[in-house]
Amino acid sequence: MPNITDVAILGATGSIGTSALNVIRLHPDRFNVVGLSAWHRTEALAALVGELSPRIAAVSTEHVDAFRAQFRGTGGDVTLLGGSAGLKAVAEYPRADTVVAGISGAAGLESTFAAVDAGKRILIANKEPLVMCGGLLRKEARRSGACLLPIDSEHNAIFQCLPEALQQSVANGLGVRGTDNGTGVERLTLTASGGPFLRTSAADLRQVGPKDALQHPTWDMGPKISVDSATLMNKGLELIEACTLFGLDETQVEVVIHPQSALHSVVHFSDGSLIGQMANPDMRVPIAYGLAYPERIASGVHGLDFMTLGRLEFESPDSERFPCLELARAAAREGGSVPTALNAANEIAVQAFLAGRLGFCQIPVLIRDIMDHHNKVSVKELGQVLEIDREVRQRASKMLADGIPAS
């Protein structure tokens, strides 16, 4: 009989949160949910609180009174909190052994940091904090003894392909330490589906809107990451995430378009071997791996059938139609506060695109302009990162108000 793992889920009402809960529901003898968070969707969170009886739950400050009102008189003993203090309280809740970081965007930074600070085992889907200040998070993990388990599918695939000693090194915030230390890891290939506009002409890309961008061909995800997948910024963020998590240089991480989304990434070893991980494109697979690591448990996802799959195709990304990937690569090369600026500009651009205030092809124009005018500094502590994020958002919002030229 396995020990019960107490789990807190940040972003429980989102796509990652839902997938995590679906795996957890398959294993009631193994996992116990002690903390949950959402932001606006308080009814959905209230339903989860009713079902799972966590000890602590948090929503936005704006919604916390209405959220509490739903539980008045029910006699439950759940602590209901609001705002970023509430998120942090869930992240560092003493009874939680494992924290699933499933908030979307920079909004997850402080709670992820709090979970790392508290020495938790953290299943990291929320890639933006790693992009903004992955070095700081790794340093903090080394100090606190936190265990970082990547569950973004590509990074989880890479993690699965590493020998156990290197897995431990990555989880402890040490990375794989480059090519010349006998680990044999030379480089990584991140695969990308290519998103909904893989075959869309440059002319037609000028006309696409939010509805088109949200129709991802292989993955079912939240709106922000779906738009990022359509621009290929998601792969750019993942490139920075890979450099951070595995301690590699950007020249050691290549991106390949693989429309079937069956091979989730590959590690190239010095003897010429390539080891990759394959599965149906369903986040329950990496989440189940992270939840039970180092054991394997049922995720509810069927294995791949090669005959149904038929073939695996690979092609190079088109940086003319999708400039965001190269912008992210440039940010990875520059380092310091440049990835923080890239991420903040991208979040503002994606919000504006979803709200119909910015064209699809203007997204990279805004980001490039922000990067061109950003004064790089080295990133030393969380407060500084939050300040840079705030400043860039202000500048990007002003640019939007002044009008962004067509690309």
Q: What's the Cα-to-Cα distance from 195 to each of 231, 262, 342, rounded to whole Å?
A: 8, 14, 20
Q: In terms of CB distance, is 67 or 186 closer to ligand NAP?
A: 67
Local structure of 32: helix, strand or coil: strand
For residue 132, the minimal CB distance to ligand NAP (Å) is 11
- By CB under 6 A, is residue 15 in contact with ligand NAP? yes
- By CB under 6 A, is residue 126 in contact with ligand NAP? yes
- By CB under 6 A, is residue 216 in contact with ligand NAP? no
- Residue 357: Cβ within 10 Å count: 13
Q: In terms of CB distance, is 173 or 236 closer to ligand NAP?
A: 236
Q: In terms of CB distance, is 171 or 221 closer to ligand NAP?
A: 221
- By CB under 6 A, is residue 38 in contact with ligand NAP? yes
- The residue whose Cβ lies closest to ligand NAP is 14
Q: In terms of CB distance, is 163 or 223 closer to ligand NAP?
A: 223
For residue 223, the minimal CB distance to ligand NAP (Å) is 6
Q: In terms of CB distance, is 237 or 404 closer to ligand NAP?
A: 237
How many angstroms separate the CA atoms of 42 and 50, rounded?
A: 12
Sheet holding 31-37, edge to edge: 79-82, 56-59, 31-37, 5-10, 98-101, 121-124, 147-150
- By CB under 6 A, is residue 196 in contact with ligand NAP? no
Local structure of 226: helix, strand or coil: helix
How many angstroms separate the CA atoms of 218 and 309, rounded?
A: 13
Among 34, 100, 109, 225, interactor with ligand NAP by CB under 6 A = 225
Local structure of 294: helix, strand or coil: coil
DSSP 211-269: HHHT--SS----HHHHHHHHHTHHHHHHHHHHHHHHT--GGGEEEEE-TT--EEEEEEE
Binding range to ligand NAP, per CB under 6 A, among 26-34, 124-132, 267-275, 394-402: 124-132
- By CB under 6 A, is residue 104 in contact with ligand NAP? yes
- By CB under 6 A, is residue 118 in contact with ligand NAP? no
Q: How many CA atoms lie within 13 A of 152 on its CB side?
A: 27
- The one-letter amino acid at 374: H
Q: Name the β-bridge partners of 276.
A: 266
x-or-dash pattern for ligand NAP, window 251-290, by CB under 6 A?
Answer: --------------------------------x-------
For residue 338, the minimal CB distance to ligand NAP (Å) is 19
Q: In terms of CB distance, is 39 or 353 closer to ligand NAP?
A: 39
R_g of the chain, CA atoms, integer Å: 20
- By CB under 6 A, is residue 358 in contact with ligand NAP? no
How many angstroms separate the CA atoms of 89 and 68, rounded?
A: 16
- By CB under 6 A, is residue 127 in contact with ligand NAP? yes
Q: In terms of CB distance, is 93 or 186 closer to ligand NAP?
A: 93
Q: How many CA atoms lie within 13 A of 16 on its CB side?
A: 31
Are 11 and 112 in contact, with CB atoms under 8 Å apart? no
How many angstroms separate the CA atoms of 308 and 135, rounded?
A: 42
Q: Angle CA(399)–CA(112)–CA(95) in degrees, nearest 5?
A: 155
Binding range to ligand NAP, per CB under 6 A, among 11-19, 202-210, 254-262, 381-389: 11-19
Among 16, 133, 285, 344, interactor with ligand NAP by CB under 6 A = 16
Among 175, 222, 290, 317, interactor with ligand NAP by CB under 6 A = 222
Among 33, 46, 49, 103, interactor with ligand NAP by CB under 6 A = 103
Footprint of ligand NAP on 145-184 (CB under 6 A)? 152-153
Footprint of ligand NAP on 279-338 (CB under 6 A)? 283
How many angstroms separate the CA atoms of 79 and 121, rounded?
A: 22
Q: Identify each DSSP E strand in 4-97 by its residue range.
A: 5-10, 31-37, 56-59, 79-82
- Residue 45: Cβ within 10 Å count: 25
Binding site for ligand NAP (CB under 6 A): 11-17, 38-41, 87, 102-104, 107, 125-128, 152-153, 219, 221-225, 283
